[in-house]
Amino acid sequence: MTSGLPNATFRDPSGSLSFEENLVIRKIDPSANADVLNFLKSRFCLAMQARGDLIDAEIDQSTSSLRLRHPKIPIPTYPWEWTPGQWLAAANLTLNLCEEALADGWILKDATPLNVLFNGAHPIFVDILSFERRDKYSSIWLAYGQYVRTFLLPLLMARKLSWPLSLSLFNRDGYEPADCYGALGWKGRLSRDAFWPITLPTLLDRRKNADEAAKKRPSRIADPDVTTDVLKRTLRNLRKRTRRAVQQNQSSDWSQYQSTLTHYSGAESRDKVDWVRSAIETSKPARVLDIGANTGEFSALAADMGAEVVALERDMASADRVFEMARQRNLTIQTIHGDIARPTPAVGWQNAESVALLPRLEGQFDMVLMLAVIHHLLLMEQIPLPAILDLCHRLTRRHLVIEWVPVADPMYQSLMRGRNSLYGSLSEADLLAACTGRFEVRDRQALDNGRVLFLFERIG
């Protein structure tokens, strides 16, 4: 943690977070004690925690001040590392919780993707302090504008103009409608999806202090049942618009890789799967990191064999397929849209609010899979073999599985791009030399296409 930051979070005046081993400690400001205790005892809170949609919270009895102990999510991820499917799942969770809270007299006072983490493929709302007692005579959801800025507009602009969702790294409070309006042509501005959240607010000049304006002009209705119905219609409308904003059936060359590859025969593919399955059976890893997971074939294999898996994939369409597959099959796979060669940096105030990707991953796994990845790091990123193996040594606690792609392989040749003097003589011996002092070979399997599979065990 950077010097000068006494807590992991400091923006919410009602409380702050810190970390102790496998727990997250939330210290509550005395001014919020009564509201927090009432919420923790509410039927809504208990039901959502039992369902797994809301983070558990245990009152720390060892101190006179109010402190809550939350379970720590093993690998927290941020919205800039999510796929469209994950964004939609987090949005649906946010809206669903807000709607269900109404019946018990509560409402969300803020609505941002930063309130959600993923445990495997399951989104969990982690900010207990985001709930407050609602005014039963008000039909205004004060978090409405924030939801539009931080959920709806990033998804909409990703679909309409291919703005990467990873840009949320630089937009903590999302997009202003005017920013989106300026980027869209007139056809886009007048489209059904963009006119309501982008064009209309911009033309009416409500882009500044929209939330404050709502607070100053509250819509009050004498009948509480009517206000509840209005709020529910608002949330349902947002849910429909969010669903329409998500680009459907994305594809890329890499998301079609398994169905189009020509350098593997059917028998060779089966031999590779059988060998990896045997390596997992032998090693019995509890947690696996699949780097360059593609569409998740080997992530699913490890999960089916009882491992908790993190699938890291830099191609968005492929990563989204991994997430959807994990949800549909209820597999313990957490998807991260990221590049191991260009990992997410630490961001926020003094670079201390959001942790960089590598520190979140290092030393967390019993096995790391790098199947047909190393030649990409070598040839596309120009990362030396010793540096690659050094990173692998920091990531795994025990085992490493590598698929070595020889120089003669057509994929290697296509990526080398004439740099034969640099990479044309690399061999299996160079890989083994880079492992010296880091890994020992435990198994080796040569495939008929010339590729070689290795099971390494970590030294030290």
Q: Tokens at residue 143, please?
A: 């978090």
The C-alpha atoms of residue 197 and residue 159 are separated, in whole angstroms, by 15
According to the model, what pLDDT value does residue 3 have?
36
b/e sequence 34-72, b meaning 16+ C-beta within 10 Å: ebbeebeebebbeebbeeebbbebeeeeeeeebbbbbeb
According to the model, what pLDDT value does residue 126 have?
96
Q: What count of other Cβ atoms lies within 10 Å of the Cβ of residue 10? A: 14
According to the model, what pLDDT value does residue 197 have?
95
The C-alpha atoms of residue 414 and residue 369 are separated, in whole angstroms, by 23
Whole-structure pTM value: 0.91
According to the model, what pLDDT value does residue 4 have?
39
According to the model, what pLDDT value does residue 1 have?
33
Q: What count of other Cβ atoms lies within 10 Å of the Cβ of residue 6? A: 9
DSSP-based three-state secondary structure for 13 = coil
DSSP letter assigned to residue 296: S
According to the model, what pLDDT value does residue 157 have?
96
Domain ranges of the chain: 15-71, 79-245, 257-458
According to the model, what pLDDT value does residue 223 have?
82
The C-alpha atoms of residue 81 and residue 310 are separated, in whole angstroms, by 13
Instruction: List strand residue ranges (DSSP E) for 197-332, in order.
Output: 287-291, 308-313
* Gyration radius of the chain over CA positions: 25
According to the model, what pLDDT value does residue 91 have?
98
> Which bin fits 190, alpha (ψ -120 to 50), beta or left (φ > 0)?
alpha
Contacts 24+ apart (CB under 8 A), 207-210: 207/176, 207/177, 207/178, 210/145
pLDDT tens-digit readout, 280-320: 999 999 999 999 999 999 999 999 999 999 999 999 999 99
Q: Class of the 257-458 domain?
A: alpha beta
**DSSP H helical ranges for 2-151:** 33-41, 43-51, 84-102, 144-147
The C-alpha atoms of residue 112 and residue 37 are separated, in whole angstroms, by 23
Mean pLDDT by 10 residues, the chain (460 residues): 46 80 89 94 97 96 87 95 98 98 96 97 96 94 97 96 94 94 94 94 68 55 86 97 86 53 76 97 97 97 98 96 97 98 92 92 97 95 96 98 95 89 91 97 96 96
pLDDT tens-digit readout, 141-189: 999 999 999 999 999 999 999 999 999 999 999 999 999 999 999 999 9
Strand partners, 288: 309, 367
According to the model, what pLDDT value does residue 235 have?
97
Can you say whether the dihedral through the CA atoms of 388, 393, 397, 402 is positive or negative?
A: positive
According to the model, what pLDDT value does residue 316 have?
95
According to the model, what pLDDT value does residue 178 have?
93
b/e sequence 173-211, b meaning 16+ C-beta within 10 Å: ebbbbbbbbeebeeebbebeebeebbbebbeeeebeebe
